Amino acid sequence: MNKLFENLNEQQLIAVKTTDTPLRIIAGAGSGKTRVITAKIAYLINEKNIFPRKILAMTFTNKAANEMKERIKKMLDNENVNPFISTFHAFCARVLREECEAIGLHNKFSILDSNDQRAIIRKIIKNMKLNEDGTLNRFDKKALSKISFWKNELTEPDEALDICKDIEEKAFAKIYKKYQQHLFEQNLVDFDDLQILVYKIFRDNKDILQKWRNRFDYVMVDEFQDTNEIQFDLIKLLTAGKNNLTVVGDPDQTIYSWRGAKIQIIMQFHQVYPNAVTVVLNENYRSTQQILNLANDLIEHNKHREPKSIFTNNDHGPKPKLKEFSTRYGEARFVAHEIKKLVEEQGYQYGDMFILYRMNAWSQEFEKTLDNAKIPYNLIGSIKFRERKVIKDSIALLKSISICDDLSVERVLKFTPKVGDVTIEKIYNLASEKQLSLFELMIDEENSVRTITKYLDPIRNTFIKARVMFENNESLVELMKFLVKESEYEAIVKRLDDKDRDEWKNVEALYDQLKNFEKGFNSELYGEENVTLAFLQEESLASEEADEEKSNRVSLLTIHSAKGLENKVVFVVGLNRDVFPSKNSMLTIAEFEEERRALYVALTRAKEILYISYIKGEYSHLSGGALIESKFVKELNPDLYTYESNIFVKQEGKSGSYLKKVFGEKPEIEVIKTDINENDLVNHVMFGDGIVIKKMDRQLQIQFTDSRYGSMILASDNPVLTKK
């Protein structure tokens, strides 16, 4: 056991060894919470003699679950140790496979991803003739968001119809009813259903609940600050009357209220478990003390939190750097310059850098500038591997012959040669007339689809043969290869590659993924004997997570995407009013504190060097006027950072020579000077005479005499602008 404890500090050791009472671990940023969780699981197995499969540990991402599994195997030097470590959704899918008959669901149900949900919603909207003119913006997304809200509030479709008074909400309630009806008919569940249906099963079936209570001797929950009411209800049901619970989280990192997370759950834990013990982990193993000083000072502005101040023994490194720029372009150009300097002069790698922003729209200038500077980067949150068309098409083939849902069959028909929308509509009508699913119609022995078109013969024959392979539980990768080849999809993709699309490599990467899954397949873990169904379940559960590309590239990502990550150098950009926090004039105190927590999360991603920047003066549609610094900038303690304003990289000559000047040699940093001041009369070659009503660093706000131009913001060093 000494091996398990040798790297634990005193507080961590207490957290590991406390097992006889409900335990809440408040784990500060970078405080080694994963180390504590894995050490605790190893301790329960080795010291408390709990059988591994009787330990349930739940977290929020597959990546975190897999990392814990691997760490425990190494700790115990035993590849066969398999505690039940999974995401909430994966755990619920496992329960649902076993208990679905209690709610009238067939155990071969399929799990919808968000794209499939939207496709169903769009079809319902079209059939109901709603939003035909397209005037309602993001109507399908709004409908899905409202449906998700109702589901998590346990509001049934008929109840939603009764309580809605607003015309748009009534439309959403009607869509909700048809959506649920479609899911029931097609034996489908969505992500919300996984947790809600299991909650209902546990709530209404005491014998089933008791069975699952008895299945686990100890329950642990990671990222507890991100739990919602349904998840906490599941935890309470599984642990009622027992002391076998440890939860780990940090209220200062609760930034997902828009997903249903409630900070009150972790804050009021002792009200639910009065005999609970709290252990605070406040020694940070990630960042320098200079970075932590700034983060600690900022988060103390929040009133609704557990008081703590994280510290580290690492006192090396520079103070965080706060930078002010006149334009978004100047901000991006400076960041690119600093990245080059850190790589070329200080030995950093591109992969050591994060550029973090509050909203995706802020990445645009950085993408262009990094491209121009030949700096490699990943835009995290762009098209994920599993959302590429060729991958979704291939998976649709697999779903068509296994789950047999209409959505997947329709997707396959859409890429079947010589089959168009008119033909697909005829197939739908015939299936409805015969009261068959699309798949059943396709393989119908009467071959009635041939009355529509002979061009369905190849895909029909493929379906029939592949279905036999599936029922015989044959090799997953061989089944996929058969489907892709015999459906003629391989030929379609390779024709795309003739146009330099290079899509076939993605299909081959999918083959590798299937092979690796098959190699590690464990039917007990998935509650499913058929390897194809197990893979499709895993794929559906993983579809909400970002794919990570391990490479030497700068990562551009939102702060919410960066939670749980860390890097040596972090640039937190766009710290502007109406950007971060967004729409701060409309935020409640609770929402404003959450925005502050998001900044705290961003700052504590940095291990060695931290930059923070904002724009002052440039006009932006985001704020409806000139950008100014966020309120958070004013909250940062000036004793804890270095500050520089009016920075830009000098540009000489035409744009063609710009890169050589900026990145081939050391660029010069200079302050723009102008003799034009407020109240000065000026003349612009195009806009005519005007008066300067405001001076903002490199920008001037000018009221022009000509009413066609009115008030405009221009660069103070504009060569066609002169003082009169």
**Cα 86-38-308 angle, rounded to 5 deg:** 105
Q: Which residues pair with 249 in a beta bridge?
A: 26
Q: How far apart are CA 699 and CA 625, in angstroms?
A: 13
Active-site position among 222, 331, 365, 393:
222
- Nearest CA to 186 out of 409, 393, 6, 462 is that of 409
31 in a labelled binding site? yes
- Nearest CA to 409 out of 436, 369, 377 is that of 436
Q: How far apart are CA 628 and CA 334, in angstroms?
A: 18
DSSP string, 634-694: HHS-GGGSEEE-S--B---S-HHHHHIIIIISPPPB-----S--TT-EEEETTTEEEEEEE
Task: Please indicate whether residue 254 is annotated as part of the active site.
Answer: no
347 in a labelled binding site? no
Helices (H), 487-610: 489-497, 504-519, 523-526, 531-542, 559-562, 589-603
With residue 342 as reference, give the H or E element that holds it.
helix 328-346
CA distance readout (Å), 65 to 73, 268, 711: 13, 26, 56
Give the three-state DSSP class for 208: helix
Task: Please indicate whether residue 223 is annotated as part of the active site.
Answer: yes
Q: Give Cα 562 to chain centroid, integer Å.
A: 9
Q: Which residues pair with 721 in a beta bridge?
A: 684
57 in a labelled binding site? no
Task: Please indicate whether residue 433 is annotated as part of the active site.
Answer: no
33 in a labelled binding site? yes
Strand order of the β-sheet with 321-325 is: 377-379, 554-558, 353-357, 567-572, 606-615, 321-325, 642-644
Active-site position among 24, 174, 286, 605:
605
Residue in this structure with the two tokens 């703590």, named with its chain if needed: 308
Q: What is the β-pairing status of strands 84-87 and 321-325?
A: unpaired
Active-site position among 190, 223, 324, 697:
223
Give the three-state DSSP class for 15: helix
Q: How far apart are CA 238 and CA 218, in angstroms?
A: 10
Active-site position among 11, 12, 24, 33:
33
With residue 620 as reference, give the H or E element that holds it.
strand 619-620
Report how many helices (DSSP H) and strands (DSSP E) the chain contains, helices first.
31, 22
Active-site position among 225, 231, 253, 288:
253
Burial of residue 240, with CB atoms counted within 10 A of its CB: 0-12 exposed, 13-18 middle, 19 or more buried: exposed
Helices (H), 105-166: 114-127, 139-152, 157-163
- Nearest CA to 146 out of 183, 121, 115 is that of 121
Task: Please indicate whether residue 271 is annotated as part of the active site.
Answer: no
- Nearest CA to 522 out of 52, 35, 45, 42 is that of 52
626 in a labelled binding site? no
Task: Please indicate whether residue 253 is annotated as part of the active site.
Answer: yes
28 in a labelled binding site? yes
The interaxial angle of helices 504-519 and 531-542, nearest 10 deg, is 120
CB 557 within 8 A of CB 356: yes
Residue in this structure with the two tokens 């335990």, named with its chain if needed: 23
Q: Which residues contact 366 (CB under 8 A, 6 or more apart)?
A: 332, 335, 336, 355, 377, 556, 573
Omega before residue 307 within 30° of 0, cis? no
Task: Please indicate whether residue 118 is annotated as part of the active site.
Answer: no
Active-site position among 17, 18, 19, 34:
34
How many C-beta neighbours within 10 Å does residue 133 have?
5
Residues at the binding site for ATP are 27-34
The catalytic site residues sit at 33-34, 222-223, 253, 605
Which residues does the annotation place in the binding site? 27-34
